[in-house]
Structure 1
Amino acid sequence: MNGLNGLQDGVSEESTGILRALKSRNYRLFFFGQSVSLIGTWMQQVAMSWLVYRLTGSALLLGTIGFCSQAPTFVVAPIAGVLADRWNRRRLLMLTQSFAMLQAFLLAFFVFHGSIQVWHLVVLSLWLGTVNGVDIPVRQSFVVEMVEEKRLLANAIALNSSMVNGARLIGPSIAGLVISVAGEGVCFLINGLSYLAVLTSIFLMRLKAAPPRAAARSFLHELKEGFGYALSFMPIRTILLLVSLMSLTGMPYAVLMPVFARDVLHGGAHTFGFLMAAAGVGSFAGTVYLASRKSVIGLGRIIALSCGLFGVGIACFSQSRNFWLSLLALLFSGYGAMTQVASCNTILQTIVEDDKRGRVMSLFTMSFMGMAPFGSLFAGAIASRVGAPVTVLIGGISCVCGAILFALRLPVFREQVLPIYREKDILP
C-alpha cells in the first residue's frame, strides 16, 4: 500500500496530466488490479482462438466460438442493467469475477488433462459470455462510485480504456510466446490466477454509503423504462446505433485474425500475437490521447473521425499481403476503434441520469459486446464462402458509411448535449 500512497502524492489535486483520476484511492486500487487481470484475459483470448483453429482449421468454428463467448451478453446485459441500478455493485463484481476465474481454471484443467474437445470450448465460452453480460454493465456503472469528482470521470473512462489496451499490447505478445513454448493451457492458468489481483483490489476499496434508492418498481417496468429513456433521447440512440454497426460489421476482423496470420500472411502463433499487439498499440495510443484531453467538448467529432479511421484501417488490412503493411493498418484501426468506443462511453456516462446509469450502460454493452457475436457468426460463415479478406473489406466499408451518417447528425447532437454539460457543471 505504500507504493499506492506514494503514487497519490505524485498525482496531486492540481494535476492536469493523463493520470489525474488516480488521485482517487478506490480508482487507483481498481486500476492496478484490473490491469493485471486484463493481461490474463487477453492471453486467454489469443490462446482460445489459436486452440480452436489448431484443433479444427475452420474459420466457421472460429466465428462460432466468438459467437458463443459474446452472444449471452445480448440477452443478459439488459437484466444486469436493472440489477446494477438496484443492488450493491461491488458485491456483484466480486461474484462475476469469481465465476470468470473458475472458467479459466476449468479451461486449463481440460487442456493439461489432454481431454479438451470443441464442445468444451463452446460450453465454457457460453459460460464466460453469460458472466461478462452481467460484469460489464455493472463495472461500467461502478466507475462513478470509485471516482467522486465528476470532472475526473472522463479521464477515468479513458484510463479504463488504456488498461484494456495496455493489456492488449502486452497480453497477446506474451501469449504468442507462451503458446509456442508451453501450449495454450498455461495461458488459461495464468488468466485464472490474474483474477486474484482484481478481486483483492475490489475488496480493499473504501466506498461511501450509497444514497437511499427509490422504492423499486416491477422488474419489467424498470427494464422498459431504461429502453424508453435511451431510445427516445437522440444522442444516446445515435451512439448506440453507431456502436452496434461497428460491432456487427467491423469488429469481427479480430475473430478472423488466425486466418490472416496463418493463411494470408503464412505465419504462426508469433505472427498472430504480433498482429493482435499491433492493434493494441494503436488502441493504447488512442486512449492516451483521450486521457490527455481536458474537456468532453469535441468528442462527437472525434467519434465520427475515429469510426471512419477504423473502417479505412481494417479495409486496408484486408487487402494487405505484407506483414509490415498489415501491422501498420492494424495500428490505425486499433486507434480508431478504441477512440470511438471510449469517446462514446464518456459521453454516455456524462449525460445519463444517475438513477438510469446501469440500464443505459447495459444497452451500451449490448451494442458493443452483444452485437459482436452475431457479427462473428456471420463473418465466419461469409469467410468460409468468399474468404476472410473480402469479409473484412465489407466490414470496413460499412463502418466508413456509418461514420458519414453520424457526422451528418452532429449539429443536432451537440444542440441536445451541451445543455446537459452546463447543468452538470462539467464544462471547463
Structure 2
Amino acid sequence: MSAPALAGPVGYGRVLAVPEFRAVFAAHVLSMLGVIVSEIALSVLVYDLTGSPLLSALTFALGFLPYLVGGTLLAGVGDRFPARRVLVVCDLVCAGCVAAMAVPGTGIGVLLGLRCALAVVSPVFAGTRMATLSDILGGGDLFVLGRSLLRIVAQSALLVGYGLGGLLLAVLAPRHALLITVAGFLASAALLRLGTRHRPARARVRVRERAGTRRLLADRRIRLLLLLFWIPAMFAVVPEALAAPYADALGAGSPGLGLLMCALPVGTVAGELYAGARLGPAARERIALPLVCLTLLPYLGYALHPSLTVSLLLLLLAGAGSAYTLGLDQWFVRAVPEELRGRAMTVLSAGLMTIQGVGMTLAGVAAEAVGVRATVAAAGVVGVVCCCALAAAARRAARPGC
C-alpha cells in the first residue's frame, strides 16, 4: 500500500476537462438531489397519510437497511453487463419507483416497499458508476480526484437538497415534488446514455455471486481497505445521529440543530477540496493512515461539555480528517482485479451505508443509557482505538513479504 512515485497535484480542473466525466458528474448531481428531495417528500407524504412519526422516520431508515441486500445479492451486476446499460437501467428503475409513489391512492405498504426497492438498486448504481470512473479516468490520480468530486457533490447535496426539498414542499404537494424527482432520474439516465460510450462487460465469464464476493474478500489487503473505509464511518455518524437531542441539551433550538447537521459535511468538503487540489497523490497516500487515526479524535472533546461554537469546531475538524479517503481510493483500485471492480465498488458502497445505519442505531441505544455527550466521547475513544489497530495492520500488510 505504499505510494507510487507520481508527480505533484493534478487538480480538479483536469478531471472536469474529460467530457465523459462531465456527463457522469452532472448525472450524479441530478440523481443525488432527486434522492434527497424524494426522501423528504416521501417522509412528509407518509406523515400526512398516517399522522405517525414512527412511520415517517421509517422512510429514512429504509434508505439504509436494504443496501446490504443489494450489495450482496446484486454485487456482480456491474461486472456481468455493460456498465452504461446497468447505470441507465438503474436510473429508469428509480424513476419508475418514484413515479409509482406519486400516483394518488398508493397505500403506505406500497410506498415503503417502493422505498426499499430504491435502496436495493442504489448500491448497484453507485458501485457500477465508481467502477466506470476507472474506465473513463484510468486507475491513477484522475480516478481518485473524480471519486473525490462525486463525494463532495454527495456532501454538498445534503446541504442544498434538504433546503431545496423544504422550499419545494412549501409550494408543492408531496406527490408533485416526487414528480420533479422522476424528471431528475430521467435526465440522469439521458446524460449517461448520450454522454458516455459503450464498453463491454468486465467479467469475461459469469461468476456466481457468492464465489465472486468470496474471492474478493479472500484477499487480506482488500479486507483491510474495506474496513478502513467502513469502521471510521460507523463512528463518524454518531454526532449526526444525536444532533437533535444534543441541540436540545445546549438550548440551541432549530438554528443550532441546523448548524450541527451542516458542520460535519462542510468539514468533509473542505478537507477533500484541500487534499485534492493542493496535495499530490504521493502526499495524499502518506497522510492517509495518520488521518485515519486522528479523524475521530475531536469527538473526545464532547466529554468537556463544549459550547455550541466549540462543538461546531470539533465537527469541522473531524470532517476535514476524512480526507484520508483519497489515499484509500488509490490503494483500493490498485488492489482489486479489473474483472471484479464493479463488484468491489458495490460491496464498498453497500457496506458503507449499512454500517452507518448500524452506527446510528447503536448511538441511539447508547445515548439512552449514558447520555449524548458521553456517547459521542465514547465513540471517539473506541473509534480511535479501532482505527489505529486497522492502520497498524495496513502498515504490516504493506511491508515486503507480508
TM-score (norm 1): 0.76
Equivalent position of 1:361 in the other structure: 345
Deviations 1:17-70 (A, max 9, x none): 322112221111111221233234344556777899996667x985x6554322
Who is 1:344 aligned against? 328
Q: CA deviation at 1:306?
A: 3.2
What does residue 284 of structure 1 align with?
Answer: 269
What letter is aligned with 1:23? A
Once the two structures are TM-superposed, the CA of residue 401 in structure 1 deviates from its matched residue by 1.4
Matches within 5 A, 1:286-365: 286-292=271-277, 295-316=280-301, 322-337=307-322, 339-365=323-349
State the distance in 2 between where 1:416 and 1:265 align.
Answer: 55
Distance (whole Å) between structure 2 residues aligned to residue 171 and residue 318 of structure 1:
32
Residue 87 of structure 1 and its aligned partner are, at CA, apart by 1.0
* Partner Cα separation in structure 1 for residue 158 and residue 330 of structure 2: 20
Q: Does the C-alpha gap of structure 1 residues 317 and 46 become closer, same or farther in structure 2, counting only changes over 3 Å? A: farther
Report what 2:146 is aligned to: 156
Q: Does 1:243 align with 2:229?
A: yes
Q: How far apart, CA to CA, are the structure 1 residues paired with 2:174 and 2:295?
A: 30
CA drift of 1:74 comes to 1.8
CA distances 1:341-391 after superposition (whole Å, capped 9, x unpaired): 444233212332211212222332243122222223333333344444433
Gaps of 5+ in 1: 1-14, 420-428
Shift of 1:208: 5.0
For the 8 Å contact 1:31–1:160, the answer to whether it is kept is yes
Q: Distance in 1 between matches of 2:267 and 2:286?
A: 19
Contact 2:298/2:314 (<8 A) preserved: yes
Q: What letter matches 2:226 in structure 1?
A: L
> 1:91 — aligned with what?
85
Q: Deviations over 1:78-120 (max 9, x none)?
A: 333322111122121122223333444555667xx8x986x67
**C-alpha separation between the residues in 2 aligned to 1:225 and 1:75?**
19
Deviates more, 1:405-414 or 1:45-54: 45-54
Map 1:18-417; keep pairs closer than 5 Å: 18-45=12-39, 62=57, 67-105=61-99, 122-148=112-138, 150-175=140-165, 188=178, 190-207=180-197, 209-210=199-200, 213-228=203-218, 232-234=219-221, 236-261=222-247, 264-268=250-254, 271-292=256-277, 295-316=280-301, 322-337=307-322, 339-415=323-399
The offset of 1:155, in angstroms, is 1.9
CA contact (8 A) 2:21 2:136 kept: yes
State the Cα distance separating 1:288 from its structure 2 match: 1.0
Unpaired runs of 5+ in structure 2?
1-8
Query: Residue 212 and residue 182 in structure 1: after superposition, are their counterparts in 2 closer, same or farther (change >3 A)?
Result: closer
Contact map agreement 2:87 2:129 (CA 8 A) in 1: yes
Q: CA deviation at 1:77?
A: 0.9
2:206 partner SS: coil
**Residues 400 and 151 (structure 1 numbering): CA distance in 2 closer, same or farther, change over 3 Å?**
closer
Does the Cα contact within 8 Å between 1:283 and 1:331 map onto a contact in 2?
Answer: yes
| C-alpha distance after superposition, 1:283-330 (max 9, x if no partner) | 111221232256432445433343344313444468756443333233
Partners of 2:234 and 2:334 lie apart in 1 by 25
Alpha carbons of structure 1 residues 284 and 350: separation in structure 2 relative to 1, 3 Å: same
Contact 2:295 2:321 in 1 (8 A): yes
1:24–1:187 Cα change, 3 Å: same
Structure 1 residue 141: Cα displacement: 1.2
Counterpart residue type for residue 376 of structure 1: M
Distance in 2, matches of 1:207 and 1:36, equals 20
Letter in 1 for 2:191: S
Identity of matched residues, %: 22
CA distance in 2, matches of 1:327, 1:109: 42
Give the counterpart letter for 1:195 in structure 2.
F
Tell me, yes or no, if the aligned pair for 2:242 and 2:364 is still in contact at 8 Å: yes
The 3 A distance-change label for structure 1 pair 277 and 330 is: same
CA-atom RMSD in angstroms:
3.8
C-alpha deviation, 1:410, in angstroms: 4.9
Q: How many residues matched?
A: 393
Change over 3 Å in CA distance of 1:320–1:192 after alignment to 2: farther
Q: Deviations over 1:109-147 (max 9, x none)?
A: 67xx8x986x67754442332122322222221212222
- Tell me if the contact between 2:72 and 2:347 (Cα under 8 Å) persists in the aligned partners: yes
